[in-house]
């Protein structure tokens, strides 16, 4: 493809995406086809001769789009949002066009330096503690996901717990990770990958009303483990848990970690984005105790997957844990010690130029534009919660500090399962579920920039009507 051919094909692809976004409200939110339907329509092998982009785009519309769950649909209220946006797509397009591999400063100086500055900009936007800024001992890096951030935090925590000898000795003792019963599964996975075994994670009980980690139970668990010869290595606290957006109390958890010298990682994968709004920074109280922190701009900050922002308070400790420098990567800039080589801040070696999409997003929207997006989501969720509260058939299951509402029909699980199935079968909206205190609970997470009061009201109308059919007579 010549640059001129690329220009023409690129226009057609951008047109296709713009049309896709514009027609989303007319599509069912989820695929209506059975498993295997997409694969069955595809040829069994690749074409022998090349084809024009028009042919590919035609099949994209005919074969692929109908088989998608449309995450950018205004009626998508499942899981947590995975926003994208025009500026994010354009930044990603430039990144793909540049094809830069940013594993070392030397392999793309601007790739590294823009990333450092973007993470400092984000730290300022969220008003994160000064210890995470690159101007001191800390700094930020883009990981592919919050799961990877937790894995990296786990490895650094083990390095610290082993007295800086983890690189040489590996897992030489019984180390333990602490997190709440409500924490994300990526914490257990990270511990498993790190070689801690099945009893490597201890789940700490939560307050039944708030679903937040109990600092008293955390302290008791750490003390019991120490007495039994187990080394407490890491506490992962969550700001905005996956099930209900509970906020673990950092002002109480932080001092426990400090007292016992345990590494504290804060996982704010979803809710961190809310901190662009000063009035939604309550979850960050006590963050100055944290050794590392992450949130996903790819969830709620209009930045397409993948983009997790991860900060550490001591970049030197992180690099010491992860660095490996083979001969073929040696270069004068690295040897000078004057540059950041992000390969040492993550598990893989190679890395894309993801800072570009953040740069595009931050400049296009500005902090005020991002605040408007977050505030709209929070207000829409509150509007929906009001509807639930006003209907005696329903109950709100947990507080809704951000843009997720957890609710259920009063009574047994069966009608709630039935309700969710009926609602999603309409194709107009898509919700997911969780279990809260053992009870089947529906989750409505607002986040698509296309969702408006009309869509939330329509969701409520569909739910309310379906409830009449789901409740046994
Ligand atoms: N942590 C929390 C609290 C989450 O809610 C999620 C996903 O929803 C994750 C971690 C995992 O995020 P990622 O897909 O970026 O690994």
Per-residue confidence (pLDDT) for residue 159, from 0 to 100: 97
State the closest ligand 1 atom to the C-alpha of 150, by its place in the atom list counted from 1.
Answer: 10
Residues 409-448: tens digit of each pLDDT? 999 999 999 999 999 999 999 999 999 999 999 999 999 9
Residue 416 CA to ligand 1 centre (angstroms): 25
Per DSSP, 206 falls in state: B
DSSP letter for each residue of 217-272? HHHHHHHHHHHTT-EEEEEEEEBS-TTT--B--HHHHHHHHHHHT-EEEEE-TTGG
Per-residue confidence (pLDDT) for residue 111, from 0 to 100: 97
User: What residue ranges line ligand 1, CB within 6 angstroms?
Assistant: 80, 145-147, 184, 186, 238, 241-242, 267, 269-270, 296, 308
Residue 15 CA to ligand 1 centre (angstroms): 32
Per-residue confidence (pLDDT) for residue 391, from 0 to 100: 97
Q: How does the average pLDDT of the chain come out, rounded? A: 96
Mutate which of 179, 211, 242 for ligand 1? The one with the most ligand atoms within 8 Å of its CB, which is 242
d(CA 129, CA 126): 9
Residues 66-80: tens digit of each pLDDT? 999 999 999 999 999
d(CA 402, CA 445): 9
d(CA 354, CA 94): 10
State the closest ligand 1 atom to the C-alpha of 147, by its place in the atom list counted from 1.
Answer: 16
**Ligand 1 atom 12 nearest Cα:** 146
CA 227 and chain centroid, separation: 36
Residue ranges, comma separated, of all CATH 3.90.1150.10 domains in the chain are 360-470
**Ligand 1 atom 14 nearest Cα:** 145
Mutate which of 212, 269, 300, 402 for ligand 1? The one with the most ligand atoms within 8 Å of its CB, which is 269
Query: Under CATH, what is the fold of the domain 360-470?
Result: 3.90.1150
Residues 46-99: tens digit of each pLDDT? 999 999 999 999 999 999 999 999 999 999 999 999 989 999 999 999 999 999
State the closest ligand 1 atom to the C-alpha of 80, by its place in the atom list counted from 1.
Answer: 8
Q: Where are the alpha helices (DSSP H) in 338-394?
A: 355-389
Residue 267 CA to ligand 1 centre (angstroms): 8
State the closest ligand 1 atom to the C-alpha of 241, by its place in the atom list counted from 1.
Answer: 3
Residues 366-382: tens digit of each pLDDT? 999 999 999 999 999 99
In the chain, the largest separation of any two C-alpha atoms, in whole Å, equals 77
pLDDT reading at 472 higher than 80: no
Per-residue confidence (pLDDT) for residue 32, from 0 to 100: 85
pLDDT reading at 215 higher than 80: yes
Residues 133-177: tens digit of each pLDDT? 999 999 999 999 999 999 999 999 999 999 999 999 999 899 999
What secondary structure, in 3-state letters, does 120-146 show? HHHHHHCCCCHHHCCCCCCEEEEECCH
Tokens standing for residue 270: 């979803």
Mutate which of 270, 303, 432 for ligand 1? The one with the most ligand atoms within 8 Å of its CB, which is 270
Residue ranges, comma separated, of all CATH 1.20.1340.10 domains in the chain are 3-68
State the closest ligand 1 atom to the C-alpha of 270, by its place in the atom list counted from 1.
Answer: 5
Residue ranges, comma separated, of all CATH 3.40.640.10 domains in the chain are 100-352
State the closest ligand 1 atom to the C-alpha of 271, by its place in the atom list counted from 1.
Answer: 3
Residue 10 CA to ligand 1 centre (angstroms): 33
State the closest ligand 1 atom to the C-alpha of 308, by its place in the atom list counted from 1.
Answer: 15
d(CA 405, CA 431): 11
Residue 270 CA to ligand 1 centre (angstroms): 7
- Percentage of residues in the chain having pLDDT higher than 90: 97
Residue 146 CA to ligand 1 centre (angstroms): 5
d(CA 73, CA 423): 16
100-352: CATH number: 3.40.640.10
**Ligand 1 atom 5 nearest Cα:** 242
Residues 273-314: tens digit of each pLDDT? 999 999 999 999 999 999 999 999 999 999 999 999 999 999
Residue 154 CA to ligand 1 centre (angstroms): 15
pLDDT reading at 123 higher than 80: yes
Mean pLDDT of the region 17-34:
95
Residue 382 CA to ligand 1 centre (angstroms): 23
Residue 327 CA to ligand 1 centre (angstroms): 36
- pTM, rounded to two decimals: 0.96
pLDDT reading at 471 higher than 90: no
Contact predicate 211/202, CB 8 Å = no
pLDDT reading at 473 higher than 90: no
| Nearest CA among 179, 182, 212, 181 for reference residue 399 | 212
Q: Is 187 exposed, middle or buried (0-12, 13-18, 19+ CB in 10 A)?
A: buried
Per-residue confidence (pLDDT) for residue 470, from 0 to 100: 79
Contact predicate 84/301, CB 8 Å = no
Tokens standing for residue 376: 């709209």
- Quickly tell me which residue has 């973007």 as its tokens: 118
pLDDT tier at 117 (50, 70, 90 boundaries)?
A: very high
Please state, in angstroms and as integers, the Cα–Cα distance from residue 295 to each residue in 147, 162, 305, following that order.
Answer: 10, 27, 12
pLDDT tier at 346 (50, 70, 90 boundaries)?
A: very high
Helix pair angle (413-425, 453-470), 10° resolution: 130
**Ligand 1 atom 8 nearest Cα:** 242
SS3 296: coil
pLDDT tier at 197 (50, 70, 90 boundaries)?
A: confident
Per-residue confidence (pLDDT) for residue 180, from 0 to 100: 98
**Ligand 1 atom 6 nearest Cα:** 269
pLDDT reading at 126 higher than 80: yes
Tokens standing for residue 418: 């039935």
> Pairing relation of β-strands 308-312 and 292-295?
antiparallel
pLDDT reading at 194 higher than 90: yes
Strand order in the sheet with 292-295: 139-143, 308-312, 292-295, 263-267, 231-238, 175-180, 201-204
pLDDT tier at 469 (50, 70, 90 boundaries)?
A: confident
- What CATH homologous superfamily does 3-68 map to? dopa decarboxylase, N-terminal domain (1.20.1340.10)
Mean pLDDT of the region 383-404:
97
């Amino acid at each position: 493809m010549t640059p001129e051919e690329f220009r023409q094909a690129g226009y057609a692809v951008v047109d296709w995406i713009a049309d896709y976004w514009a027609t989303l409200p007319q599509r069912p939110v989820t695929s209506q086809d059975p498993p295997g339907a997409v694969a069955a329509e595809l040829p069994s092998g690749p074409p022998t001769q090349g084809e024009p982009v028009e042919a590919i785009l035609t099949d994209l519309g005919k074969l692929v789009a109908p088989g998608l769950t449309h995450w950018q649909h205004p009626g998508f209220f499942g899981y947590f949002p995975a926003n994208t946006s025009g500026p994010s797509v354009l930044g990603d397009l430039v990144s793909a066009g540049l094809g830069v591999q940013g594993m070392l400063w030397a392999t793309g100086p601007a790739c590294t330096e823009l990333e450092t500055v973007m993470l400092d900009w984000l730290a300022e936007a969220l008003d994160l503690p000064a210890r995470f800024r690159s101007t001191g001992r800390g700094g930020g890096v883009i990981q592919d996901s919050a799961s990877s951030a937790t894995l990296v935090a786990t490895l650094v925590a083990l390095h610290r717990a082993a007295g800086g000898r983890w690189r040489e000795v590996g897992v030489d003792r019984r180390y333990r990770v602490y997190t709440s019963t409500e924490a994300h599964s990526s914490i257990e996975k990270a511990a498993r990958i790190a070689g801690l075994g099945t009893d490597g994670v201890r789940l700490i009980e939560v307050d039944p009303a708030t679903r937040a980690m109990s600092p008293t139970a955390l302290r008791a668990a750490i003390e019991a483990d120490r007495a039994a010869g187990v080394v407490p290595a890491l506490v992962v606290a969550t700001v905005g848990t996956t099930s209900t957006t509970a906020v673990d109390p950092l002002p109480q958890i932080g001092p426990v970690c400090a007292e016992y010298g345990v590494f504290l990682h804060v996982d704010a994968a979803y809710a961190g984005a809310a901190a662009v709004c000063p009035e939604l920074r309550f979850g960050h109280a006590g963050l100055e105790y944290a050794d590392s922190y992450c949130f996903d701009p790819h969830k709620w900050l209009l930045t397409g997957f993948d983009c997790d922002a991860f900060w550490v308070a001591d970049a030197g400790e992180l690099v010491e844990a992860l660095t490996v420098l083979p001969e073929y990567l040696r270069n004068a800039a690295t040897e000078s010690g004057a540059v950041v080589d992000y390969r040492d801040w993550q598990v893989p070696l190679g890395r894309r130029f993801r800072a570009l999409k953040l740069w595009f997003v931050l400049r296009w929207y500005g902090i005020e534009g991002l605040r408007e997006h977050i505030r709209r989501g929070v207000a829409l969720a509150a509007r929906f919660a009001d509807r639930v509260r006003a209907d005696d058939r329903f109950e709100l299951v947990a507080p809704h500090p951000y843009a997720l509402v957890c609710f259920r029909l009063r009574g047994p699980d069966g009608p709630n399962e039935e309700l969710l199935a009926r609602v999603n079968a309409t194709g107009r909206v898509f919700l997911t579920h969780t279990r809260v205190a053992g009870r089947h609970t529906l989750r409505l997470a607002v986040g698509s920039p296309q969702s408006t009061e009309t869509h939330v009201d329509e969701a409520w109308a569909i739910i309310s009507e379906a409830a009449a059919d789901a409740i046994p007579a």
